[in-house]
Structure 1
């Protein structure tokens, strides 16, 4: 039976980014330390949010290529006259350059030359981009031959300069991608569940290839499991993975179990379903050969993870959302800066303490982030852990704080979180870590609670404009909030976000009941 992989999107839990110290026990014994750390330890640790941002750079690369080559064509057409002379050009003069440029760019994109895979060699990639661009520019040369308005030498010189520009740009892009993979910033991080013989075969082949990081192994059979397999540490039982500090850094969790352990596979899938990470179930033959192992690792290392359910956000959607956040967030932050300074001064004059309040909350992939707000409570009574939620006539809230909460102006400093990429303008509201509803941790009330971390948290969101704002005092409140957040994640789009932003201000100002 050949290997095949099933992938499933998950949502869930993690802890903070102190991964540098993961699994270290005895600093004085170098050999022991090496075994505990494992042979796949990357030089640079980046979490899932940062890794996604690195992958989305290819959209910026594409934009720079289009802009520079377009400017080169525009400058060539108008040189040595002024740029205003472009209006005097005829269609016959412009057509060869326009067709050549459009075809070159279209061929580059269609040939997936902005997909810098693990096997990409820098000079091979540059050669491929030059060849593909050359084919596109030939289309313009054909148009030049038909129109015969200007000299062939002019077009050929421009085409040569364009090829050189594309080659230089892709040399930079490919070199950056290779460098990021070498230091581990782009190399996929996975953990294995099951300290089995098959896990040993996977690790052995992965050590030879070095295009995937296997950071550790989890196995419930702790009494029979070794301390390490080929240097990769066994970090504990599967239950430890649910709250392990590695979780925010993982791209995938691979189950390496026997093919006849179908019941155990189902049990583990249910147990790990609260995690945000993708899960790969490896169903293998009893005696897998080298080709089967290679195919399994290729799917993990080279190809996009294929999910049983369609992906919530493809790269294009994620890029558009990030661009929306960066442009609108930066404009809002600059425009509102004088207003923010006035609010900060008012908070300082109203009560003793700093103007800003910061709190650790869960972000994308359960990453811990520091969220900024204007302080609305007395400094010595602030609840950093979010254990006690706000109630009506809460005596901890200052006079200025009541107004700021009623208008949600206390959330405006989170524009800084948006610009930094930790939050989005629209998304599920970030909750304090360990926040309680009554005497119960809110995350324990609804099994799907962690699914709201499949996307960046937002300053506003679908739940906010649908009335689910502020504290959650009952299990019903938690269930409704989680359901609305999941509804948003499944519907998210550029235009849906704009509609939510447009609805936010009138909804918040018109709500005199909800406590915030």
Structure 2
């Protein structure tokens, strides 16, 4: 299974067919659960006649029951990708004066780098470098072991506190969207080393990596539902994960538009870090 999951993470597979054998049912359930957390189609060879309106297809005369589908495929994936790039490019042009002003304010206050870049986990658990406006003092920006910011964190600069209050530090991620590494809307990307209650995010719950079945986003369903700021307990992470998986399972263009609208009217007024 480890080799199979690794091949999926490398993008070598689009579909996995599981064939029932004399293996214990618990083992089959474990295999299906692991595969359901990846962005591939998972089908199970069925020994029973397909029920009416079931998710069954045939490979020759062999019935295959669809156990899991990627949230985005074909036209839906292409539509979201094009919409993301068009919106991100337009926003970068429109917001250029604001972005330059923020960059100048950061440099004037600390005479240090304007941007903060860090490896984050993206689609299919692949790593990418995120763009953010730097909101902490340079000496506090340890890219490998950076801890989540807390309310009143002394590492945050005065300009950084303002940017975080209004979520303006996230705007450079429009570049990640144009590059195809992120979406406008999706689960927020985390660093692999981030912890909740002293436990790595990926170890808090077995289905954590299912959130990587879609590209991460600048904003998401969890954020517009008020789940922002420091994730310092396992309970907070699980609540966010529930919202992330809800989004993955129910994606639609209309849902994205709704989240964008809610982001504009609610997120700036929520109490973040």
Normalised by the length of structure 2, the TM-score is: 0.84
Inter-partner Cα distance in structure 2 for 1:481 and 1:267: 24
Q: How does 1:117-516 map to 2 (within 5 A)?
A: 238-239=1-2, 241-242=4-5, 244=6, 247-252=9-14, 254=16, 259-261=21-23, 263=25, 264-281=27-44, 307-309=66-68, 311-385=70-144, 387-511=146-270, 513-515=271-273
Query: Whole-Å Cα distance in 2 between the matches of residues 253 and 362 of structure 1?
Result: 22
- What is the DSSP-based 3-state SS (H/G/I as helix, E as strand, rest coil) of the residue aligned with 1:308? strand
**CA–CA separation in structure 2 for the residues paired with 1:389 and 1:465:** 20
2:43·2:65 contact (CA, 8 Å) conserved in 1? no
Contact (CA 8 Å) 2:145, 2:193: kept in 1 or not? yes
Q: Deviations over 1:324-374 (max 9, x none)?
A: 212211110111112111111111111132101111111111111111000
Shift of 1:407: 0.6
Task: Report how many residues are paired.
Answer: 260
Query: 2 CA distance for matches of 1:246 and 1:386?
Result: 28
SS at match of 1:452: helix
* CA displacement, residues 51-79 of structure 1 (integer Å, 9 cap, x when unaligned): xxxxxxxxxxxxxxxxxxxxxxxxxxxxx
Q: Write the distance in 2 (CA, Å) between the matches of 1:386 and 1:245.
A: 28
Cα 1:322–1:357 shift into 2, 3 Å: same
CA distance in 2 between counterparts of 1:316 and 1:488 reads 18
Q: CA deviation at 1:503?
A: 1.6
- CA-CA distance at 1:279 after TM superposition: 3.8
Q: Deviations over 1:69-95 (max 9, x none)?
A: xxxxxxxxxxxxxxxxxxxxxxxxxxx
Q: Distance in 1 between matches of 2:18 and 2:73?
A: 27
Measure how far apart 1:453 and its partner are: 1.0
Does structure 2 conserve the Cα–Cα contact (< 8 Å) formed by 1:414 and 1:459? yes
Q: Which runs of 4+ in 1 moved over 6 A?
A: 255-258
CA distance in 2 between partners of 1:456 and 1:447 (Å): 19
Deviation at 1:482, TM superposition (A): 0.4
Instruction: Name the SS for the 1:501 alignment partner.
Output: helix
Contact 2:84–2:177, Cα closer than 8 Å, also in 1: yes
Structure 2: give runs of 5+ residues left out of the alignment.
48-57
Once the two structures are superposed, residues 85-118 of structure 1 have per-residue CA deviations (whole angstroms, 9 ceiling, x without a partner) of xxxxxxxxxxxxxxxxxxxxxxxxxxxxxxxxxx
- What is the Cα deviation at residue 265 of structure 1? 3.4
Q: What is the aligned partner in structure 1 of residue 55 from structure 2?
A: none
> Are 1:257 and 1:265, in contact at CA under 8 Å, matched by a contact in 2?
no
Q: 1:470 to 1:270 in 2, by over 3 A?
A: same
What TM-score results when the alignment is normalised by the length of structure 1?
Answer: 0.46
1:232-286 Cα offsets, whole Å, 9 max, x none, are: xxxxxx34555x47623132464677833354434433455544444455689xx
Structure number with higher helix proportion: 1
Kindly name which structure, 1 or 2, has the bigger radius of gyration based on alpha carbons: 1
Pair 1:333–1:393, CA change in 2 (3 A) = same
- The separation in 1 between residues aligned to 2:214 and 2:34, in whole angstroms, is 21
Task: Compute the RMSD of aligned alpha carbons.
Answer: 2.7
Q: Distance in 1 between matches of 2:158 and 2:203?
A: 34
How far the C-alpha of 1:411 sits from its partner, in A, is 0.4
Looking at structure 2, the residues matched to 335 and 468 of structure 1 have their Cα atoms a distance apart, in angstroms, of 28
Question: What CA distance in whole angstroms lies between the structure 2 residues aligned with 1:354 and 1:346?
Answer: 11
> Which protein is richer in strand relative to its size?
2
